[in-house]
Amino acid sequence: MRFQKLYIASLPRSGSTLLTRLLDQLEDVLCLPESFFPAALSRVTAAEWQDSRRIAALFVVSCSDGSPLTVDEAEKCIRDDKEATLDALASAVAVKAGRDLSKIRIVVWKFTRLVGSSAFAAQTGGRFLVLRRNPLNVFESQFRVHFGAKNRHPARFAFFESSYLAAFKGYPADRTRHMEYGDIGSKMDDLIQWMGSSGARSESGGSGVAELSAKNPWHSEINKPFQNRDHEKIANLSASQVSGYESARAMFARLPWLGSLSRKLADHRQMKVLWDLAEGVLNPTPVK
């Protein structure tokens, strides 16, 4: 079965998990847990693709909130064709979640890593949604999650952001939509219409996106009604942090090539991490 595809990309901590949780409640939409897999496929060679079990392990470790499928289950979905593999994985997740497969038309994949590796995703004819949030609020959130430790310096965060902005410019313009975090509540109907969804709600619930994501403390609010509290959170930043970020951002805006180079290096590094994790799943180190 071939599905229409929507790829959601954003900086981490921009509300993409909340958005997918809302979309996953639609009858004809299936959202998979956050996974770098479609982006990773841009970097998988033809020779690497021949090892179906290794590719299955790559899918499992690419699901940053936890995989809905085991390696064995994922391996059964690996096809000769990469896009057919995406569809088979989506079908397997839908069946496992008790969704009516005959009603699903659109599959949503979201990734907040490897965002510059979009060549394969673009080849599938899918649409891209870039979710944007006030960068100062994204910066403020770095102080509230353990994985934001490296981005708590204003200049370092501005550099990090510039790499994402460079990646977003590489998405197919005619199939890319930009949405603001603050509009999640008021413009969902417009988004659903653009996606081509009927907007009807699923009677059997979602695919488990919310359940998997809610296990992580940094997703503690995704099951609550949407409430934009950015104006409160931004007050946590000091004047020097704000001015430092704004100055650095202006500098990086004048050096767009630097953001592009940074993104390429970051994607390369992240891909190596994924392969290492996949190898660890397949060949775990014995406990002494």
The band of 206, judged by pLDDT with boundaries at 50, 70 and 90, is: confident
Mean pLDDT of 57-63: 97
Q: In the prediction, which pLDDT does 282 show?
A: 95
Sheet holding 106-111, edge to edge: 29-31, 106-111, 4-10, 127-132, 176-180
Mean pLDDT of 163-190: 96
Q: In the prediction, which pLDDT does 288 show?
A: 62
Q: What are the residues whose beta carbons fall under 8 Å from the beta carbon of 102, sequence distance 6 or more?
A: none
Q: What phi, psi does 27 have (nearest 5°)?
A: -65, -40
Mean pLDDT of 44-64: 97
The string of DSSP codes covering 170-208 is: TS-GGGEEEEEGGGTTTSHHHHHHHHT---PBPSS--SS
Q: In the prediction, which pLDDT does 185 show?
A: 86
The band of 1, judged by pLDDT with boundaries at 50, 70 and 90, is: confident
Res. 218: pLDDT tops 70: no
SS3 244: helix
Query: CATH assignment of 4-282, given 3.90.550.10, 3.40.50.11540, 3.40.50.300, 3.40.50.620?
Result: 3.40.50.300
Q: What phi, psi does 139 have (nearest 5°)?
A: -65, -45
Radius of gyration of the chain (CA): 19
pLDDT digits (tens, 9 = 90+) for 129-147: 999 999 999 999 999 999 8
Res. 228: pLDDT tops 90: no
pLDDT digits (tens, 9 = 90+) for 91-132: 999 999 999 999 999 999 998 889 999 999 999 999 999 999
Tokens of 250: 């202006």
pTM, rounded to two decimals = 0.93
Res. 184: pLDDT tops 70: yes
Of the listed ranges 71-75, 204-208, 228-232, 244-248, the one predicted with least confidence: 204-208
Cβ atoms within 10 Å of 57's Cβ, excluding its own: 24
Q: What are the residues whose beta carbons fall under 8 Å from the beta carbon of 9, sequence distance 6 or more?
A: 16, 110, 111, 112, 115, 118, 128, 129, 130, 131, 167, 168, 171
Write down the residue that tokens 């949030």 correspond to.
133
Q: In the prediction, which pLDDT does 106 show?
A: 97
The band of 45, judged by pLDDT with boundaries at 50, 70 and 90, is: very high
Average of per-residue pLDDT values in the chain: 93
Please report, rounded to a whole number, the percentage of residues in the chain having pLDDT higher than 90: 81
Cα dihedral 154, 155, 158, 164 in deg (nearest 10): -120
Q: What phi, psi does 208 have (nearest 5°)?
A: 100, 5
DSSP 148: G
pLDDT digits (tens, 9 = 90+) for 238-248: 999 999 999 99
C-alpha 69/C-alpha 63 separation (Å) is 10
Res. 219: pLDDT tops 80: no
Mean pLDDT of 24-46: 94
C-alpha 19/C-alpha 219 separation (Å) is 12
Q: In the prediction, which pLDDT does 217 show?
A: 66
Write down the residue that tokens 């592009």 correspond to.
260
Res. 220: pLDDT tops 80: no
| Boundaries of every domain in the chain | 4-282
The band of 29, judged by pLDDT with boundaries at 50, 70 and 90, is: very high
Provide the β-strand partners of residue 9: 111, 130
By the 8 A CB rule, do 174 and 128 touch? no
Closest among 49, 41, 29, 46 to 90, alpha carbons compared = 29
C-alpha 43/C-alpha 39 separation (Å) is 8
